[in-house]
Every structure is written in C-alpha cells, then in structure tokens.
Structure 1
Amino acid sequence: MNREQISRIAHTEHPIKAPIDNASVDRLLARGLPRGDERVLDLGCGSGEWLLRALAARPHLRAEGVDVSEDALAQARHAANDRGVADRLVLHHQEADAFVSAHRFGLVISVGASHAFGGLLPTLAAARRHLAPGGRVLIGDGFWERTPSPEAIEMLGDHTDLATTMDRVAADGWTPVHGHVSTRHELDDYEWSCWGSLASWALDRPTDPDSAAALSTAGLRRTEWLRGYRDSFGFVSLVLGRTPGH
C-alpha cells in the first residue's frame, strides 16, 4: 500500500487535508475569495476540495489546481464532474513550486502544503509570483503551541511558536486580514478521522492483501500523534494581503 492509497482512504471522511472543520473552511473562503469573476489557484491542491468549495460558492469563478499526485487529481476531476463545476476547473499535474501561468489570481491557496516548497516563507514566495494586484493568499501551516520533543520536530518539521510565525509573515511583507487557529476539537477530530478511516477500511476487508499494512499504519500514526505531538502541535490558517511598500 503506497502513500497515495493511504492518504485517499484516510481522508474519506475528512476531504480537507488539514485540521480545519467545515464551518472554518467556509469562513476562510468567505474572507479570501474574490467578489467578481477572478481566478483562484491552489498550489498543492490534492483532491481539490478547497477549489471545489470555492467554485460552488462563486458561480462566475474560475479555478486552477496544481499537484504532483495524479491519483489525487483524478479524484478532483471526478468530484468536479459530480458537482457540476468541471467546466470552470483546470488541473495541472506537476510540481507546485515549478508551476508557471500566464494568469494572475485573485486568491492563491496553499493549506498544509508548505513541505512542497521548503517551509512557510518559501510557500508565500511562490504564492506571490501568481498573485494579482490587490489579491489575497490563503495559507495554512503548523506551529508549536508548546515546546516540542525532538521526535515531534523530526515528524513534523522545525516550526516556530505562533507569535514568531506571525512576526515572520509580517516581516516578509504580508498583512493578515483574517486568521483561524484550529481548536483542540478540530485537531483531534482530524487525527481520529484519518486513522479511524484507515483502520475501518482494514477491518472491513480482512482478506485484502493490504489490510494488515493499513491496520498497522493506522496504529502507528495514531501512536505518533498521541505520544509524539498532540500536546505541542497547532495549526493556523491565514488570509493575507500584500503590505504596501513590499
């Protein structure tokens, strides 16, 4: 069982691949989405859930998504057809950091994908290249709520605390216009949902050749969360505009 299969099964009940609930997703999109017929771009779009919800909310919007996973993009295409928005969605199978477009976008999204760029600030640099004047960036990334263990840093990366994260964003030339810190309920619900979905898939298919591996992975990931980073990891989502003069 490869990583893409695991991710697809784990996110069956939580298609937003970040610890954010539906109400928070709606609020973030409402604050970030353009009001007219501008374009939206998602760098590291996965199965396209942010874009699908944006297209549903704005009937004149056009959207593009970029991801390295052909499996995830196939899911996005299928879902776009099911929701009747496929004619307004273009998907690109390539590295998000190498994506080049003739268009500029009123909103650039990159939530939970900073690993593809090498961190938060490189992600913002990539978003800046695609942003239309006056546009917004919707970004989501981790931070440390408490001092992490070395094991947590190894698993999730070398984040900073929330205040330092915001200082770095501001120093890079961005002004927050909205933000959301994921609640304990959102953080826990995401982990329970992912590893519970994977475990349930395995238990329902005891004769499947991938069942044992899926069950083992679910148990391992659950233990890493509970013993490794549950008490230290946080997640912040920001709607940002360019600070004048930067």
Structure 2
Amino acid sequence: MNRQELSTLAHRRHPISAPVDEAAADELLRAALPEGEGRALDLGCGSAAWLLRALAVHPGLRATGVDLSESALRTARAEAERLGLGDRLALHRQDAAEFRSARPYDLVLTVGASHAHGGLLPALEAARAHLAPGGAVLLGEGYWERTPSPAAVELLGELRDLADTVAAVGAAGWTPVHGHTSTRRERDAYEWSWTGSLAAWALDHPEHPDSGQAREAAELHREEWLRTYRDCFGFVCLVLRRTG
C-alpha cells in the first residue's frame, strides 16, 4: 500500500485533509467564494472535500480538483455522484505543479499542500498563475506555535511562526481578508481521526496483506504526533487577495 492509499484510508472519517472543523471550513468558503457564477480550483484536492462543500452551497460554481492520488480521486468521484454534483466537478490525476488551464479561476485552494510546490511562497506563486483578477486564494499552512525541537523540525521541515507566516504572505503581495487559526481541539480531533481511522481499518481487515503496514503507519504517526509536534505545531487558513 502506497502513501497515497494510506492517506485516503486515514481521512475516511475526516475528509477535510487539514485540522479544520466543518463550521470553520464553511466560514472560510463563504469568505472566499465569488458572487454569482464562478470557477474554483483545488491544487492538491485529495478527496475534494473542500470543493464538494463549495459546490453544495454555491449552485453557480464549477470546480476542478488536481491530485496525484488515484484512490482519493476515486473517492471524490463517488461522493460527487452521490451528492448529485458530478456534472460540476472535473478531476485530474496530475502533479499540481504541472497543471495548466486555458481559463483562470475565481478561487484557488491550496490547503496543506504547499510541499507539492516546494514551500509556502512557491505555492502562492502557483496559485497566482491560475487566479482571475479580483479572485481569492484559500491557503492552509502549518506554522510553529511554540519553539520546535530539532526532531520536530526534522519531521515537519522549516516552518515559520504565525506572525512571520502572515508577514511573508504580505511581503509576497497578498492581503489576508479572512482567516482561521485551528484550535487545539481541531488539531487533536484531526490527529485522533487520522490515526484512528487507519488503525480501525487494519483491525477490521486482519487478513488483508496491507493490514500490518496500515497498523504500523497509524502507530508511528500517533507516536510522532504525541511525542514530537503536538505541543508546537499550529495550522492557519487564510483567504488572500492580491494587494495591488
């Protein structure tokens, strides 16, 4: 079982691939979505949970999702059909950094996916390339809530603190018009769901050849979370517009 399939299983009970609860996700989308008809693009959509929520509340919206995980896209297609939204959602199995479109988008989402572009600022540049004039970007990014240990930096990479994250976004030519800082409760709920969903699948499928791998992945992730980054990692979502 590859990493993408493991991630799809881990997000079964928390399809939003970020430590953000449903109420916060809806509030962010209300702040980011265009009025009237529009187009939305998610660069690293996973199972397209953000796009499906947006389509459900915005009948004039059409959406495109890009992701490398075939299992996540398969889940997205099935859910879109179940909700009657399949005719307004296009999905592409492709590297988000390589995706091109002939028409710009009114909303571009890159939530927890900056690694696919090489970091925060490259992710914003990738989003800008797809953005229509006056459009918005919904960015989700990790940050250090407290000074991290060397082990946390080795595991999660070189992140900024929250103030420096917002300052870097502003220096790159973006203005936050809305935001949400994930609470400890949201972050814990996400991690318990991630590890618990994967562990439960392994217990429910003991004869599956990947059961042991899934259980070990859940145990490793839980150990890293509890011992290495639970007390120092934060997550922020920002609705951004071009400053000039």
**TM-score, with structure 2 as normaliser:** 0.98
In structure 1, give the amino acid aligned to 2:209. Answer: P
- Measure the CA separation in 2 of the matches of 1:70 and 1:115: 19
Q: Counterpart of 1:76?
A: 76
The alignment status of 1:60 with 2:56, answered yes or no, reads no
Deviation at 1:104, TM superposition (A): 1.0
- Measure the CA separation in 2 of the matches of 1:54 and 1:135: 15
The alignment status of 1:202 with 2:221, answered yes or no, reads no
- Measure the CA separation in 1 of the matches of 2:32 and 2:54: 10
Query: Structure 1's 207 and 70: CA in aligned 2 closer, same or farther, altered over 3 A?
Result: closer
1:177-196 to structure 2, matched below 5 A, reads 177-196=177-196
Secondary structure in 1 matching 2:40: strand
1:66-215 to structure 2, matched below 5 A, reads 66-215=66-215
Secondary structure in 1 matching 2:160: coil
- Measure the CA separation in 1 of the matches of 2:238 and 2:67: 21
Q: Counterpart of 2:13?
A: 13
Secondary structure in 1 matching 2:235: strand
CA RMSD of aligned residues (A): 0.9
Assess if the C-alpha contact under 8 Å between 2:140 and 2:236 holds in 1. Answer: yes
Q: Counterpart of 1:3?
A: 3
Most deviating of 226-235 and 205-214: 205-214
Deviation at 1:207, TM superposition (A): 2.7
Aligned-pair identity in percent equals 62
Q: CA offsets, 1:107-160, max 9 Å, x none?
A: 100100001001111000000011111100001010001111111112111101
Q: CA offsets, 1:5-57, max 9 Å, x none?
A: 21111111000010000000000000000111110011111111111111001
Task: Write out the 4+ residue segments of structure 1 that deviate beyond 4 Å after TM superposition.
Answer: none
In structure 2, give the amino acid aligned to 1:210. Answer: D
- Measure the CA separation in 2 of the matches of 1:105 and 1:211: 41
In structure 2, give the amino acid aligned to 1:243. Answer: T
In structure 2, give the amino acid aligned to 1:122. Answer: P
* Unmatched tracts of structure 1, length 5 or more: none
In structure 2, give the amino acid aligned to 1:191. Answer: E
Number of positions where the alignment pairs a residue of Structure 1 with one of Structure 2: 244
